[in-house]
Amino acid sequence: MTEKEKMLKGMLYQSWDPELLNERARARKLVDSLNRSKSTESHFREQLISDLFGTIDGDIFIEPPFYCDYGYNIHVGDGFFANFNCVFLDVCEIRIGKRALLGPNVQLYTATHPMERKTRASGVEAGKPIIMGDDVWIGGGAIINPGVTIGDNVVIGAGSVVTKDVPSHTFTAGNPAQMIKQLS
């Protein structure tokens, strides 16, 4: 099994593998072009994002700067909006439903490292996917940790650190994030 196959399956893998280094370099070039583009170059930005992301289902908008590892593990639905300075560490799949809104500085981390010291010291890492439903709003500065699933019609408060799955129709906030109330 290749290191990329291990990465995509959420297994321990070597991130310094030449194939993965090349794919990250490709993503960095696209991200750099996106981040240096002018606000008047909307068609150019759309093409860069289309080349970077795995799938885009409809109209989306990303406010640069934006950062990611690979890009091809990112899948977004129609009406997706990401405000300034979002970071997606996409060593595993990030799948976001329709009409999702991300405030500035939102960070989605699929990358994780072993808890055991000797294994961690070897440099290997792993990942766990992040899945979001439709009509999700994530407030500025929130961090979504590896392996989290967020249901439909969810609001995550600004500055929250989400470490566990979030059920549909809830407002969740805090560090660590907790359900505050049900939404209609």
In a domain, 37, yes or no: yes
pLDDT tens sequence across 95-138: 999 999 999 999 999 999 999 999 999 999 999 999 999 999 99
Residue 184: predicted pLDDT: 86
Question: Buried (b) or exposed (e) across 156-170, using 16+ Cβ within 10 A?
Answer: bbebbbbeeebeeeb
Phi, psi of 48 (to 5 degrees): -60, -45
CATH of the domain at 129: 2.160.10.10
Q: Which domain holds residue 28?
A: 3-137
CB 126 within 8 A of CB 105: no
Share of the chain above pLDDT 70, in %: 100
Residues 15-28 have a mean pLDDT of 98
Name the catalytic one among 43, 75, 113, 169: 113
CB 151 within 8 A of CB 168: yes
CB 127 within 8 A of CB 93: no
Q: Is 113 a catalytic residue?
A: yes
In a domain, 127, yes or no: yes
Residues 141-168 have a mean pLDDT of 98
d(CA 108, CA 146): 8
Residues 64-78 have a mean pLDDT of 98
In a domain, 169, yes or no: no
- According to DSSP, the residues that pair with 77 across neighbouring strands are 57
State the total domains in the chain. 1
In a domain, 100, yes or no: yes
Farthest CA pair distance, the chain: 50
In a domain, 150, yes or no: no
